[in-house]
Structure 1
C-alpha cells in the first residue's frame, strides 16, 4: 500500500522531471522471482530503477537509514521503507553479508524482485569494479531465481559529490536477458563457483553499460583515492609553507638592509604606524601562516 503510494509520488515525479530512458523491459518477468544485479553509480539508482518497473523491486540499505533519531530520522526511515528498501546492519562484515542473503531469499521466496549491487558500494569514479562473490552467487544459487544484469547509465552525473541541486538530465537503464545458473545448483559454497558466476554477471553489466572495468574492489579503490587525495593535500600545504617561508626570508633580508618601497608615496598616511615594503610582506606571510595553523 505504502509502496504503491510512494511509487506514484516519487516514481512519477522522477520520471516527469528526469525522463529516464529504458531498454530491455521485456526481460523482466511479469510474475515470479528474479534478481536484478546492477552497477552502482549514484544514491538515486535505487529510486530510478523501481520507477521504470511495473513490479515492486526490493533493495537492501544500511541500517543507519532506518535508525536515525528525531523527526528527520523517522521520516527518512518511512521513506526508505516506502520505496522498498530493507535495513541491513553492516557493523560486522560477515554478519552483514548473511543478513543481506537472508533478506534476499525472503524477498524471492515471496515471488518478488530483488535488487542487488554486486560491487557492494557506489563506484568512486564512474568505472565498473569487481563484483563481490558471496552475496549475489549464494542468493542466486540457493533461490534458483534468474539473474537479470542491469546497467544504470549517467546517474552519477545528476548530483555529483558536493553539488546540492540535482542536474536535470536524462539517465538511462538497460536490462539484459535473464542469466540461468542452474548448472551450478548445489555448489553455492564453492568459492570458485561464486567467483565464476559473479564474473559472468559483471561482464554482462560491463557490456550493457559501456563502463571501463577495473579488476579491484570499489572499497579498495575508495581507500586508494582517499590516500592519494591526502598526499596531494599534504604536498600542496608543504609547497605553500615553503613559499611563505621564502617570502619571510626575503622580507627579513629587505628589512635588515633597508631596501623596499613605500606603498604610499603620496604621503597620505592614516594615523598610527604602518608597515611598508619588506616589513609589510613579512607581516602578511606570518599572518597567512597563522591563519592556516588555526584552520588546521
Structure 2
C-alpha cells in the first residue's frame, strides 16, 4: 500500500497484532475525513475488491439500520489491480468507499464530511484514485518501525516487541542508524518489561549496553528491570551509569525522573537506595 495523503493530516492510528490490521484516520483543512484500513480478509468472502466491498456493505447496512437509504456500486474491483467503490447515502449524509483486494488482504477507504457539511464527491473521488495498492508489496524497515510504534502507542506492548526485533534486524548497526536503533531498543525493552517479560527486557538491554555503551537509557531501563526484581544494588549501579552518561541522550530527549518512576518506586522502602535516588540530577 502506497498512500498519498497530500492535503490531509493523520489524527489517529491503530493496529492489531500479527499484521491483522493497520488503520489511519486523516483529516483535511476543511471538513473531509478519511478512514483507511488495511486488514487480513475474512475467510468468506475473499478474493478481490468486490468481495471486500460486499463484506463492508453488510456491516454498513447493519450499523446504519433505519438510517440507511441506498447504495450505488461500480462494476470494478474484479482483481487486485482495480478499485471497487460504493456511495452510501444515509440520514446523516453521504459516504464514499473505495476498496482494493487480493487473496488474503483488503484495503478499505471511507470518506465522509462533518454532519453539517455535504461531502465533496469530486474531492473525495480524487483522494481515492491517488491511493495505490500492490498485493505483492514487501514492507520496508521503515514500515516495520511504524507498525511497531502504532502498536506501542496503543499499549499493545507484547505485540510490538517482536516487530521492533524484526525492525532492528533489518537495519545496519552503524552510526547512520544509531538514533533509530536507540529508539527502537528503548521502546522494545520497555514493551517487554511492561508486558511482564522482565527477563526478555534484561537480555535486550544487556546486549544494547554492549553494542552502545554510551547511551544512558540502556542503563536506566536496566535499573528499572532491577527494581522490578527487587535488586537494589544492581538498580543503584545502573542508575549511576545512566546519569553518568546523561549527556549522550538523543537531542530533545531527557532521562526520566527516577523518583517518579513506577518501577524505581518499588524500592522506595529501601532507605539507603532511596537516599541515593534522591541525589540523582
TM surpasses 0.5: no
Which one scores higher on RCO, CA 8 angstroms, separation ≥ 6? 1
**Higher helix share goes to which structure?**
1
Identify the structure with the greater strand proportion: 2
Q: Which has the larger radius of gyration?
A: 1
TM-score of the aligned structures, taking structure 2 as reference length: 0.23
TM-score by length of 1: 0.22
